[in-house]
């Protein structure tokens, strides 16, 4: 029998983005967390500077107030269908967000993770065009170097960790990739500010090439994670917004990893994906929009299991700073 306290190649567990060689060497098992620290099976303590790698536990570990609130909600109502019904945590969080959301963002929907929120955003953009009578709009413009999730609908917009997308191809058709505003190693071999933001202005050329009547949305992160947390020049998003307006394209700002609405200020997105991520419950991600109309009242862009009252609850628990 293999060691039950550790993990090696004999374990029946499959890990994500972990090589066979790493597993054969033995994988560290994290057994508990407290404050900003986690502990392995041998009791060794680690300072978790990345809050679970993609910052899913930035509230810190061992938060008893969150655990108690989740327990109470499970006892009260763990889930009920969001079709023609709702729950109190969903209503409460939507009201809170409507008071603090940037710009014209005024409507909210809740999902289980960032990938699902990105998929819902692309579907919602398609819904918008469909009920505007523009049923041919299905293409999405993403950027090389972008990270928007790993489910099938999100994977189509993945512009980094390319093997994750390429192995699964062919995916849904209609994704167009343009260059990122990566001034450190400019893909166009230009230098800012003399470049005149060619990477942004080239988006219009891509739209023209693809036929504007077929383009549904442009999606981008305010700070790109694939490059190691890289922000574009200040003028970039203004140019992108103007291009989207010119061609009637929905602008999706994906802040699931890099923000919670704070970075969207001034970007004037049509759809914003965001998250409040707290230990010890999985992330609750938000899809926020401002209404354009006309709308289909059925809003069939999400799935039935969304709006879990437990996950949503973690988004409205007031928390002090994490314990050191």
- Give the start-to-end residue ranges of the domains of the chain: 1-49, 65-313
Give the residue from 253, 195, 250 showing the smallest Cα distance to 224.
253
Local confidence band at 266 (pLDDT 50, 70, 90 cut-offs): low
Computed over every residue of the chain, the mean pLDDT equals 82
Local confidence band at 33 (pLDDT 50, 70, 90 cut-offs): very high
What are the pLDDT digits (tens) for 244-259? 999 999 999 998 877 6
Lowest mean pLDDT among 43-57, 137-151, 228-242, 274-288: 274-288
Q: Which of the two residues, 67 and 191, has the higher pLDDT score?
A: 191
- What pLDDT was estimated at residue 304? 47
- What pLDDT was estimated at residue 145? 92
- What pLDDT was estimated at residue 2? 43
* Averaged pLDDT, 290-306: 48
The CATH number corresponding to 65-313 among 3.40.640.10, 2.40.30.10, 3.90.1010.10, 3.30.70.20 equals 3.40.640.10
* Averaged pLDDT, 105-133: 88
Local confidence band at 311 (pLDDT 50, 70, 90 cut-offs): low
User: Among residues of the chain, what percentage have pLDDT more than 70?
Assistant: 79
């Amino acid at each position: 029998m293999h060691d039950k306290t550790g993990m090696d190649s004999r374990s029946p567990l499959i890990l994500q983005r972990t090589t066979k060689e790493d597993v054969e060497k033995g994988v560290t098992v994290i057994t508990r967390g407290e404050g900003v620290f986690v502990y392995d099976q041998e009791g060794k303590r680690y300072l978790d500077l990345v809050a679970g790698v993609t910052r899913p536990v930035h509230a810190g570990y061992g938060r008893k107030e969150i655990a108690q609130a989740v327990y109470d909600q499970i006892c009260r109502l763990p889930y009920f269908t969001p079709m023609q019904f709702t729950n109190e945590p969903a209503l409460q969080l939507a009201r809170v967000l409507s008071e603090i959301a940037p710009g014209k963002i005024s409507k909210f929907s809740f999902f289980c993770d960032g990938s699902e929120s990105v998929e819902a955003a692309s579907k919602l953009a398609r819904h918008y065009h469909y009920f505007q009578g523009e049923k041919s709009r299905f293409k999405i413009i993403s950027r090389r170097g972008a990270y928007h999730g790993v489910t099938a609908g999100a994977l189509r917009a993945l512009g980094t960790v390319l093997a994750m997308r390429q192995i699964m191809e062919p995916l849904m058709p209609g994704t167009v990739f343009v260059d990122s505003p990566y001034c450190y190693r400019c893909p166009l071999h230009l230098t800012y500010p003399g470049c005149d933001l060619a990477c942004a202005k080239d988006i219009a050329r891509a739209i023209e090439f693809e036929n504007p009547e077929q383009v549904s949305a442009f999606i981008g992160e305010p700070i790109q994670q694939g490059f190691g947390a890289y922000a574009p020049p200040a003028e970039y998003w203004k140019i992108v917004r103007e291009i989207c307006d010119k061609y009637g394209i929905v602008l999706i700002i994906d802040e699931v990893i890099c923000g919670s609405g704070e970075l969207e200020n001034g970007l004037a997105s049509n759809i914003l994906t965001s998250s409040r991520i707290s230990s010890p419950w999985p992330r609750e991600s938000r899809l926020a929009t401002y209404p354009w109309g006309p709308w289909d009242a059925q809003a069939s862009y999400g799935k039935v299991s969304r709006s879990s009252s437990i996950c949503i609850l973690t988004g409205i628990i007031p928390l002090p700073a994490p314990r050191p």
